[in-house]
Structure 1
Amino acid sequence: MKLASMQQGRDGRLVVVSRDLSRAVPADGIAPTLQAALDYWAETEPALQALYQQLNQGNGTDSFPFEQAACASPLPRAYQWADGSAYVNHVELVRKARGAEMPASFWTDPLMYQGMSDGFIGPRDDIRLAEESWGIDFEGEIAVITDDVPMGTPAERAGSHIKLLMLVNDVSLRNLIPNELAKGFGFFQSKPASSFSPVAITPDELGDAWQDTRVHHRLRVHLNDELFGEPDAGTDMTFNFAQLIAHVSFSRALCAGTIIGSGTVSNTDRSTGSCCLAERRMLEIIAQGKASTPFMRFGDRVRIEMLDAQGQSLFGAIEQKVVKYEAL
């Protein structure tokens, strides 16, 4: 099943989207918003699935052409957004570039931070930031949305709480990160609003590509229309989504609509490219002693998308331009 939120009010208007992303139908009679559907998922999911089947069979009488540009993020705001760093080879690379040893615990205990969740950027909206000097970067990731997760849920049971998946652009301000981390209290100013794909999908839409709560497809990232990277999201994911959920729920219960991110998708095979500028810059530092790839400038554009085995877009595409923020 594929779901989207059309831009309307603060929380969007829930629609069911056809498998080929060509048409959509309102879900008003089932749930007005995605959060409302997730709050009562056991009741709403069968009705949404039935509407999805009708739409794919051409029986959606109220259907209309689906426009990705008219979408908000599937959850325009969420109760919780926790982002991990499940691709530990990416972390190791960043630390190696600055000559720092990586603690052994990073391979056994996931990194996680709690990000801004009270308002996400739409998948086709501009990224508005005040200064290029902040070191503007994109990060191509995958995220899951859960239902209610009890505190202390172990990894072997956590996978059953994954209800939907999305793509992510976790916007990062790289030049603000060092001073924040030096305080020993984590990210804040260096992590502005993130964005998510136009469509959220249920795991069954992935077929055999959904194994061990990992997505086994390539994540394609383009910068200014040039392919920047296409690593396989399942190959080098040290911690799967079940393990990330278990980590987040260790000492707290998670409410329905919690979003948990994978961190930057990365492969040890460097020929697949990168999903963020920081990784390419670290590779340049290791190879040449300095970085030559600049961070994003005003006017730069990023596109993040995942295709299935037949070359069809699974989630729609995040397409965004960085523009200068002008205070009102």
Structure 2
Amino acid sequence: MSHEDGAAPDTTAFAIGTFTSEAGAFPGFVVDGQVRDIREVLPEIRTTGDLFAEWESNLDALQAVVADPDERARLGGVPVEGVGVLPPVQPIGPILAAGANYREHILQMSVVHKLGRSDATDEELWAEAAAENDERRRSGDPYIWTGIPSAVSGAFDDVQLPDVGDDIDWEVELGVVIGRTAHRVAAEDAYDVVAGYTIVNDITSRTLVPRTDMALIGTDWFRAKNQPTFFPTGPYLVPARFVPDPTALRIQLRLNGEIKQDATTDDLLFDIPSLIAYASSIAILRPGDLLITGSPPGNGSHWKRFLRDGDVMEASITGLGAQRNVVRGPSGTVPPWQASRVSAVS
């Protein structure tokens, strides 16, 4: 909702979220740090997910309130700091996650993980990966995998380190919320199905990614990325009408106050329309589905520093708000399945 390109900010802009008070969870809209209950304007809306049925007209109704000082005063409002903050879209839907989709990040990982000729220098690995990925952008497909709703947590929730899996890594990403049913959408029409944008931190257990016992499959994204709290999301859904250029957003992550990720969304290998066109060529996308667009460089794998008990992650994207998550150590109790196979899993 902020503009860094010199354009005047939209004074009727707002964000949408799901909040909790003593009365329970409620859908809200946020203006100048104040939360107001959407149900006071649109009584038929019980959750933020209900907004998608008439997305544009519902936004128009909320925007009319924001533009009217008397209406805003009538509704009152409470500071965001005075309520709990849940993932913004409720009920939570599936996650469609683009992997290896920031060019510089891909090149960093190619060097860190020695993805290439065994006798290649770091410079050669970088150059060869650059050529391969430029060709993939011209003629290949994005890589998309799926996340499950139970792994999603709030923007200010603790992140729980698992009892099985090590080298827990951060990956702050731009999240794209789908606003209408989409199947076989052309890239030039893709922005028509976007409801808005949010922040997602795609937490990963690096030691659980490889599947050395199944060489033909190779990787296991389910176990590496779908553990509880592994997708801090929000705090808000910012409608697309208030994000004039999603390719010009700055993504940052600080670990204990130190910048680890700092990039802009213009380095995507496959841009947002391409991701939507590809994903919808295979699956039917539904309102509320969350497409995360890939991580920029600066992950723990690059820094050779992974998450520890007590760490504090602070993530932000231009105009979309900020997250703050405290990392908590493993519980100390291994699940029964892994306990019976303890030698097979790191």
Q: TM-score, normalised by structure 1?
A: 0.80
Taking the aligned partners of 1:98 and 1:121, their CA distance within structure 2 comes to 29
Deviation at 1:13, TM superposition (A): 1.6
Q: How does 1:130-169 map to 2 (within 5 A)?
A: 130-131=162-163, 134-169=166-201
Q: Which runs of 5+ in 1 are unaligned?
A: 267-273, 282-292, 308-313
Structure 2 counterpart of 1:100, from 115, 122, 132: 115
CA RMSD of aligned residues (A): 2.7
Return the letter of the residue paired with 1:221: L
Taking the aligned partners of 1:55 and 1:166, their CA distance within structure 2 comes to 27
Deviation at 1:79, TM superposition (A): 2.5
- Identify if the C-alpha distance between structure 1 residues 132 and 305 changes in structure 2 by more than 3 Å, giving closer, same or farther: farther
Report what 2:5 is aligned to: none
Report what 2:207 is aligned to: 175
Structure 1 counterpart of 2:143, from 89, 111, 126: 111
- Identify if the C-alpha distance between structure 1 residues 98 and 136 changes in structure 2 by more than 3 Å, giving closer, same or farther: closer
Assess if the C-alpha contact under 8 Å between 1:51 and 1:60 holds in 2: no
Report what 2:34 is aligned to: 23
SS of the residue corresponding to residue 221 of structure 2 reads coil
Q: Which runs of 5+ in 2 are unaligned?
A: 1-13, 117-128, 336-346
Taking the aligned partners of 2:82 and 2:203, their CA distance within structure 1 comes to 20
Taking the aligned partners of 2:254 and 2:82, their CA distance within structure 1 comes to 18
Taking the aligned partners of 1:136 and 1:261, their CA distance within structure 2 comes to 19
Deviation at 1:16, TM superposition (A): 0.7
Task: Indicate whether 1:200 and 2:237 are aligned.
Answer: yes
Taking the aligned partners of 1:188 and 1:318, their CA distance within structure 2 comes to 24
- Identify if the C-alpha distance between structure 1 residues 138 and 7 changes in structure 2 by more than 3 Å, giving closer, same or farther: farther
Task: Indicate whether 1:32 and 2:69 are aligned.
Answer: no
Report what 1:226 is aligned to: 258
Assess if the C-alpha contact under 8 Å between 1:305 and 1:317 holds in 2: yes
Deviation at 1:56, TM superposition (A): 10
Taking the aligned partners of 2:278 and 2:181, their CA distance within structure 1 comes to 12
Task: Indicate whether 1:248 and 2:259 are aligned.
Answer: no
Deviation at 1:88, TM superposition (A): 3.2
Report what 1:301 is aligned to: 312
SS of the residue corresponding to residue 51 of structure 2 reads helix
Taking the aligned partners of 2:194 and 2:71, their CA distance within structure 1 comes to 26
Taking the aligned partners of 2:232 and 2:257, their CA distance within structure 1 comes to 19
Taking the aligned partners of 2:281 and 2:183, their CA distance within structure 1 comes to 6
Assess if the C-alpha contact under 8 Å between 1:3 and 1:199 holds in 2: yes
Aligned length in residues: 293
- Identify if the C-alpha distance between structure 1 residues 17 and 231 changes in structure 2 by more than 3 Å, giving closer, same or farther: same
Taking the aligned partners of 1:263 and 1:109, their CA distance within structure 2 comes to 14
Taking the aligned partners of 1:34 and 1:95, their CA distance within structure 2 comes to 40
Assess if the C-alpha contact under 8 Å between 1:76 and 1:122 holds in 2: no
Return the letter of the residue paired with 1:199: Y
Taking the aligned partners of 1:56 and 1:126, their CA distance within structure 2 comes to 38
Assess if the C-alpha contact under 8 Å between 1:5 and 1:13 holds in 2: yes
SS of the residue corresponding to residue 199 of structure 1 reads coil
Taking the aligned partners of 1:146 and 1:70, their CA distance within structure 2 comes to 24
Report what 2:300 is aligned to: 277
Return the letter of the residue paired with 1:15: G
Return the letter of the residue paired with 1:25: R
Return the letter of the residue paired with 2:322: A
Return the letter of the residue paired with 1:189: R
Report what 2:125 is aligned to: none
Question: What is the identity percentage for the equivalent residue pairs of Structure 1 and Structure 2?
Answer: 20
Taking the aligned partners of 2:97 and 2:141, their CA distance within structure 1 comes to 14
Which aligned runs of 4 or more in structure 1 are off by greater than 4 angstroms?
A: 55-58, 102-105
SS of the residue corresponding to residue 242 of structure 1 reads helix
Deviation at 1:76, TM superposition (A): 4.8
Larger CA Rg, structure 1 vs 2 = 2
Deviation at 1:137, TM superposition (A): 1.0
The farther-off stretch of 146-155 and 160-169 is 146-155
- Identify if the C-alpha distance between structure 1 residues 14 and 54 changes in structure 2 by more than 3 Å, giving closer, same or farther: farther
Taking the aligned partners of 1:74 and 1:179, their CA distance within structure 2 comes to 34
Q: How does 1:51-90 map to 2 (within 5 A)?
A: 51-54=65-68, 58-67=72-81, 70-85=84-99, 86-90=101-105
Return the letter of the residue paired with 2:105: H
